């Protein structure tokens, strides 16, 4: 191979891939925010392990960071997490509405004061459902866009601005300038 070749990822240069990536990151961050609002606003009324719920929201933030770095492998994991959150939201949304009756107190927030009203928490929880449906659909679309495809092309033909120079691996007994994957090229 001659000098001046770079590893290009042509599918990352497409506007559709960049838009899809931005939408996935946005939906993950919105989902994490909605989860944190429910966690903080309804702290005293939440059942189960509260730390696990916080970790779940933080995993969404971590997924947003990885997708922002073009990590395609996290997309199926994010979609699976979205399915689980969708189920939990579909079950807990009506339960928050059941608490919006006489005899139930307003939940305390995580910080000790009055939390959000049960009807507000129900609305936020029910908003999570369409957000998760969108996230699942957009993750599936993003996975089909083949962000991982790499081509070795001359610098002048690189489509992606993040194209990296070709790495040359020299091992003992190997001719200089070969990649180590086959016969030496002159």
Query: Which whole number is the average pLDDT over 11-37?
Result: 93
The segment with the largest mean pLDDT, out of 90-99, 104-113, 123-132, 142-151, is 123-132
* Residues with Cβ within 8 Å of residue 22, at least 6 apart in sequence: none
pLDDT at 186: 43
| Res. 165 pLDDT band, cuts 50 70 90 | low
pLDDT at 88: 92
pLDDT at 185: 47
Chain centre to alpha carbon of residue 123? 23
DSSP-based three-state secondary structure for 29: helix
Cα 131 to Cα 165: distance, rounded to the nearest angstrom = 39
Sheet holding 5-8, edge to edge: 151-154, 5-8, 164-165
pLDDT at 46: 82
Cα 35 to Cα 56: distance, rounded to the nearest angstrom = 9
What single DSSP character describes residue 67?
A: H
What's the length of the chain? Answer: 186
* Residue 164 clears pLDDT 90, i.e. is over it: no
Least confident of 8-22, 68-82, 101-115, 128-142: 101-115
DSSP-based three-state secondary structure for 162: coil
| Res. 133 pLDDT band, cuts 50 70 90 | very high
| Res. 56 pLDDT band, cuts 50 70 90 | very high
Mean pLDDT, the chain, as a whole number? 84
| Res. 60 pLDDT band, cuts 50 70 90 | very high
pLDDT at 9: 82
What single DSSP character describes residue 152?
A: E
pLDDT at 18: 92
């Amino acid at each position: 191979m001659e000098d001046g070749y770079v590893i290009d990822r042509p599918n990352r240069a497409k506007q559709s891939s960049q838009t899809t990536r931005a939408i996935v990151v946005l939906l993950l961050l919105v989902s994490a925010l909605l989860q944190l609002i429910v966690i903080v606003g309804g702290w005293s009324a939440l059942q189960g392990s509260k730390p696990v719920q916080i970790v779940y929201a933080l995993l969404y933030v971590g997924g947003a960071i990885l997708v922002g770095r073009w990590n395609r492998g996290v997309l199926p994991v994010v979609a699976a997490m979205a399915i689980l959150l969708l189920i939990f939201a579909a079950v807990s949304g009506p339960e928050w509405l059941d608490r919006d009756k006489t005899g139930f107190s307003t939940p305390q927030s995580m910080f000790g004061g009055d939390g959000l009203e049960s009807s507000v928490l129900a609305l936020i929880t029910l908003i999570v459902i369409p957000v998760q449906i969108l996230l699942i659909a957009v993750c599936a679309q993003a996975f089909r866009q083949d962000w991982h495809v790499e081509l070795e092309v001359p610098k002048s033909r690189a489509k992606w601005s993040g194209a990296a120079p070709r790495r040359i691996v020299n091992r003992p007994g190997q001719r200089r300038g070969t990649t180590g994957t086959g016969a030496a090229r002159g």
